[in-house]
Structure 1
Amino acid sequence: MRFNLPFRKAQPATTTNHEGAAAFALTPALELYAAVATAALCEQYYESAETRLVRLRELVAQCDPQFVARLAVYARERMYLRSVPLVLAVELARLHRGDNMVSRLVARIVQRPDEITELLAFYAQANQRAGIKTLNRLSKQLQKGLALSFNRFDGYQLAKYDRAGAVRLRDALFLVHPAAKSPEQQALFNQLVAGTLPTPYTWETELSALGQVPYATPAARAAAFRQKWTELISSGKLGYMALLRNLRNILEADVSAETMVEVCAALADRFAVARSKQLPFRFLAAYREVRALEGGHVSAVLAALEDAIAHSAANLRGFGPETRVVIACDVSGSMQQPVSSRSKVLLYDVGLVLGMLLQSRCQHVTAGMFGNTWKRLSLPRGPVLRNVDEFYRREGEVGYSTNGYLVLEDLRRRGEVVDKVLLFTDCQLWNSNFNGTSVAKEWAEYRRTVAPQARLYLFDLAGHGTTPVEVRAEHGVALIAGWSDKVFDVLAALENGGSALTEIDTIDL
């Protein structure tokens, strides 16, 4: 797929978006990719969780089974998503026959014991079964895949993830009937059935036990927790995600300066960041929690978080010192939507984080935000999280409409030649000024009159299935979807002449 193709007149819009504005439909494969990459399976501004789920199932039926399987693996292994790959596997089991692809897929994407029960719970829902007792006729391919998954887990993992729910692990064991690999594993299965698996050690259980101890004074309680946090950090028993999510607790426990040096070193460790597989916006959530605190170690932790997020994005090809880049972030009302029901992070935040990560990698960049108006902001290249907060502090200055066309109109009127324009948005753009123009019209005119070789990258953060401009190589337009730093791998694929689906096609089944 090449961008440098002969000029072709833009085609008229093929549909309308959720705002009623003219828009362009995506191919089923591209729409499924965008929906999966942005799926939290929770209520959204324009789409309910149930509506998104129905749309996912419909799209699976329209796509090649091999592509769906590769997409499920891509979502689990490269985008670190858990629930939506299980949805894809269950749908494939309903539609695909003739080989063992589904069983191999299930065994690959089920990487924790609780994903066995989550898959079965969705299977019951998708097939309109009322609970585990009605799952007496489980798909054979799902059954084989789940049996292989059971064989991979040890007693610690089974005990840690044996949680209450509509489907318990013992229920799944009876349903799947995995053949134990050894007498020792059969003993574990027997303990799971009897409910006698030893309580696993976790940092949560240690802290919980500490909380049950009666203390003579509040000071004694504080000292006990200070000591426990110090032990957990020094022993390395606290994983990266647990460390990231407990920074407030650690700081409020007032651990020693030496321990805080260990905390900051662990946070900023390049290899630990890579192994942790944290989505970039997790660092922003931690940053905001810490920034609200007082204390002598706060500034050091904030600096460590800046280092950590800087490690989360690899160097980008095609963004050298000579490349002129515009980064525009949508701050409209629909972007003020949490990424999940349990998160304080908004879609708007995700766009800003990814945008500022890109800015930190670019030498020649113009950044700004659009709502009712488009505003350029000059910010230093280095501090990603601090720049995100600066954008957040000023987002009300541009209003809350979705006039993304203003970004392109501004470039055209200035006669400013740029190489790449990157829009971070939910793609539900419309023109609140009703002056007859649009993103599609302004982009076509900008390429025709100012910069014929310019490229437009739509970073879709919501996956609603439509775009404000047609995604075609000959128009210089590409789509990238998701909240992970893996969007930069897609960006690299585009630089090499591929598409958003190129990375998925590399998955080996």
Structure 2
Amino acid sequence: MRFNFTFRKAQPNTVNHEGAPAFTLTPQLELYAAVATAALSDQFYEKADTRLARLRELVARNDPTFVAQLAVYAREQMYLRSVPLVLAVELARLHRGDNLVSRLVARIVQRPDEITELLACYAQVNQRTGVKTLNRLSKQLQKGLAVSFNRFDGYQLAKYDRAGAVRLRDALFLVHPTPRNEAQQALFNQLVAGTLPTPYTWETELSALGQATYATQEERTAAFQEKWETLIASGKLGYMALLRNLRNILEAGVSAEAVVEVCAALSDRAAVARSKQLPFRYLAAYREVKALQNGHVSAVLTALEDAISYSAANLRGFGPETRVVVACDVSSSMQTPISPRSKVLLYDVSLVLGMLLQSRCQHVTAGMFGDTWKRISMPRGPVLRNVDEFYRREGEVGYSTNGYLVVRDLRQRQEVVDKVMLFTDVQLWNSNADGGTLAQEWAEYRRTVAPQARLYLFDLAGHGTAPLDVRAEDGVALIAGWSDKVFGVLEALDNGGSALTEIEAIEF
């Protein structure tokens, strides 16, 4: 993965899901890419159970310490919840002889419902049916979960004590945490008895309103309007709750004063930083609001633009001396939801990350590729508006995956650039049957036009192959994930490191 500047040829050693020549990744890179893009839901080329089986197989092929470091990186830097638990469970099955697993579990379990999710995953992976079959729990998992239990207070335990394959009460009996003091023992007793006080949350307030009886629809609407205004003024809505309920808030007809407060909260720089939202969450909210017929829509859209800009405030872009190409894959396989309940597509993630990077660069060419490659000039700054403009024009290039055309265009123009960024699922192929490949075009471009150029493949799907040999190919790197944290890898690459440098530096 280190950049080398001697030209050499590497031959493909596999094919991708389209049957095109491709290169395998190292076990570390493949696991990293699979984890960073895992929603553990069905994707265009791969079903959820297939992805889970591949994750388990890759854990067995990697060093246990690296797997633990990757789990921490996924939880703390990429804000993923489920896949770090899968890694911990699989490590517990394979690794013995030290306290690596217990330390990992204690670090990645940050909410009470992750205790029960981890136990449900443990049951599935070890083919256990029913809570009673979990009584032979891994000792290291048990120790790590005990530490986690001691971290949570009564409010957190009550809030996340939900029905499911494993309840928190079941987990308490399985883990046997030693209470820190008498007060915590009392909490554990309440959890067992089912007498923890119902936590006060904005959800419980709205739920109570929804179950009430109203004489007229107008009375019901007025009740929700008043409740939303009260919640907004109280500051009890967390940032994610506010972001996900913008449509409900505006449809409730809240006052202009309340909308001003909403916009101020959304675009509060410190609140944005604390919220740790994935960039595409802002796009999902933007689209929900934009579809409304409401006089406050423009103000809220502006606040969302400010918010996503602040979310990437630390993103290190490039100055006017660095010539950058940002190319977004709009092929059919990218038109796949990131999870079954989400309206966000891999294509959306590609465009958001691409436009975020474009907003931080001063000398940039942006465009999209499918059957063809098309350059599209966009103003710097309005990330979400630019994404919508790309989305509106997607049909102009078709739906194949001819990524090689991006580099061929540069070569034919004899245009010298420093960095080429491809946001894609990396399942590139040639629908034109002219024999061109990205590997061939890149080698020729570097040989005849820009020997110093670097190619970055931003892998948004993690299927385990690449169209070039990222282990040895000149000036090529693979970066994976849906978070703006992917751009933090660029600095490591420029300093002679790899996409794995930040992961391998994690200590715990």
Q: Same fold (TM over 0.5)?
A: yes
1:46-70 per-residue CA deviation (whole Å, 9 max, x = no partner) reads 1110111011011111111111001
How far off is 1:203 after superposition? 0.4
Deviations 1:259-303, CA, capped at 9 Å, x for gaps? 111100110111111100100000000000000001111000000
Give the superposition deviation at 1:473.
6.1
Deviation of the 1:314 alpha carbon: 3.2
Q: Which amino acid aligns with 1:68?
A: V
Mark the CA change 1:272 to 1:316 in structure 2 (over 3 Å): closer, same or farther: closer
| Count of matched residue positions in the alignment of Structure 1 and Structure 2 | 508
- Give me the whole-angstrom Cα distance separating, in 1, the residues matched to 2:317 and 2:246: 36
Q: Give the superposition deviation at 1:6.
A: 3.6
Deviates more, 1:181-190 or 1:282-291: 181-190
**CA deviation vs aligned residue, 1:339-376 (integer Å, no higher than 9, x gap):** 01110000000000000000000011111111111111
Shift of 1:492: 2.2
**Alignment correspondent of 1:301:** 300
Partners of 1:293 and 1:316 in 2: CA distance: 32
Q: Compute the displacement of 1:472 (Å).
A: 3.8
Equivalent residue, structure 1, for 2:323: 324
Q: Does 1:219 align with 2:218?
A: yes
Counterpart-to-counterpart distance in 1, 2:315 and 2:414: 27
Partner-residue secondary structure (3-state), 1:7: coil
Distance 2:95 2:40 in 1: 24
Name the structure 2 match of 1:105: 104
Is contact 1:16–1:24 with CA below 8 Å preserved after alignment? yes
Structure 2's unaligned 5+ residue stretches are none
Q: What's 1:505 paired with?
A: 504
CA offset at residue 214 of structure 1?
A: 2.0
- Matched residue type, 1:228: K
Question: Following TM superposition, by how much is the alpha carbon of 1:379 offset from its aligned partner in structure 2, in angstroms?
Answer: 1.0
Q: Residue 83 of structure 1 corresponds to which residue in structure 2?
A: 82
Q: Is the 8 A contact 1:23 1:469 kept in 2?
A: yes
Distance 2:12 2:312 in 1: 35
Which residue of 2 is the match for residue 427 of structure 1?
Answer: 426
Aligned equivalents of 1:103, 1:160: Cα separation in 2:
25
How far apart, in 1, do the equivalents of 2:159 and 2:316 lie? 42
Contact 2:5 2:474 (C-alpha < 8 Å) held by counterparts: no
Q: Deviations over 1:147-175 (max 9, x none)?
A: 11111111111111111111111111111
Question: Could you state the TM-score of these two structures normalised by the residue count of structure 2?
Answer: 0.98
User: Following the alignment from structure 1 to structure 2, what is the Cα–Cα distance between the partners of residues 156 and 18?
Assistant: 47
Closer, same or farther: CA 346–318 of 1 in aligned 2, 3 Å: closer
Q: CA deviation at 1:225?
A: 1.1
Matching residue of 1:261: 260
Of 303-312 and 470-479, the range deviating more from structure 2: 470-479
| CA–CA separation in structure 2 for the residues paired with 1:295 and 1:336 | 29
Report if aligned partners of 1:279, 1:484 keep a CA contact under 8 Å in 2. yes
Query: Which residue identity does 2:243 align to in structure 1?
Result: L
Q: Is 1:39 matched up with 2:38?
A: yes
Q: For 1:58-457, what aligned pairs fall within 5 Å after superposition? A: 58-317=57-316, 319-457=318-456
SS at match of 1:366: strand
**How many Å separate the matches in 2 of 1:124 and 1:384?**
43
1:10, 1:475 within 8 Å by CA — same for their partners in 2? Answer: no
How far 1:181 moved relative to its partner?
1.0
Whole-angstrom distance in 2 between the partners of 1:449 and 1:11: 18
Separation in structure 2 between the aligned mates of residue 220 and residue 47 of structure 1, nearest angstrom:
49
Q: 2:485 corresponds to which residue?
A: 486
Amino acid at match of 2:406: V
C-alpha change, 1:316 and 1:474, in structure 2 (3 Å) is farther
Q: Deviations over 1:98-129 (max 9, x none)?
A: 11111011011011111111101110110111
Contact 2:315 2:484 (8 Å CA) reproduced:
no
Question: SS of the residue aligned with 2:320?
Answer: coil
Cα offset, 1:470, TM superposition: 1.1
Displacement of 1:10 in angstroms is 2.0
- For the pair 1:22 / 2:21, whether they are aligned, the reply is yes
How much has 1:315 moved relative to structure 2? 4.2
Which letter maps to 2:274? R
Tell me, yes or no, if the aligned pair for 1:480 and 1:487 is still in contact at 8 Å: yes
Single out whichever of 484-493 and 315-324 deviates more from structure 2. Answer: 315-324
Deviation (angstroms), 1:318: 6.1
User: What letter corresponds to residue 155 of structure 1 in structure 2?
Assistant: G
Contact 2:202–2:237 (Cα < 8 Å) also in 1? yes
- Per the alignment, in what secondary structure is the counterpart of residue 135 of structure 1? helix
Change (3 A) 1:135 1:15: same
Query: Is the contact between residue 424 and residue 460 of structure 1 (CA under 8 Å) also seen in structure 2?
Result: yes
Question: Which shifted more, 216-225 or 397-406?
Answer: 216-225
For the residues of structure 1 that align with 2:488 and 2:228, how far apart are their CA atoms? 37
Separation in structure 1 between the aligned mates of residue 2 and residue 221 of structure 2, nearest angstrom: 62
User: Compared with structure 1, are the counterparts of its residues 280 and 497 closer, same or farther at alpha carbon in structure 2 (3 Å cutoff)?
Assistant: same
Q: Is the 8 A contact 1:339 1:346 kept in 2?
A: yes
Residues 7 and 474 in structure 1, CA contact (< 8 A), matched pair in contact too: no
Amino acid at match of 1:20: G
1:439 Cα deviation from its structure 2 partner: 0.4
Deviates more, 1:314-323 or 1:206-215: 314-323
Structure 1, gaps ≥5 residues long: none
Shift of 1:378: 0.7
Which piece of structure 1 moves more, 220-229 or 171-180?
220-229
> How high is the TM-score relative to the length of structure 1?
0.98
Distance in 1 between residues matched to 2:152 and 2:325, nearest whole Å: 48
| 2:439 aligned counterpart, secondary structure | helix
What amino acid is the match of 1:245?
R
Contact 1:132 1:167 in 2 (8 A): yes
Greater Cα shift, 289-298 or 317-326? 317-326
Whether the 8 Å contact between 2:22 and 2:467 is mirrored in structure 1 is: yes
Q: Distance in 1 between matches of 2:15 and 2:117?
A: 35
Output one character per residue of 1:186-237: Cα deviation in whole Å (capped at 9) or x when no partner: 1111111111111111100001111222223222222211111111111110
- Deviation, 1:2, is 5.1
Mapped to 1, the partners of 2:405 and 2:442 lie a distance apart of: 10
Residues 401-459 of structure 1: CA deviation (Å, up to 9, x unaligned)? 11000001110000000000000000001101111110000000000000000000000
Question: Which stretch has the larger CA shift, 499-508 or 332-341?
Answer: 499-508
* Backbone CA RMSD of aligned residues: 1.1
1:77 CA displacement: 0.7
Cα deviation, 1:52-101, whole Å, max 9, x if unaligned, reads 10110111111111110010000001111000000000111111111111
1:471 equivalent in structure 2: 470
Q: Which amino acid counterpart does residue 479 of structure 2 have in structure 1? A: I
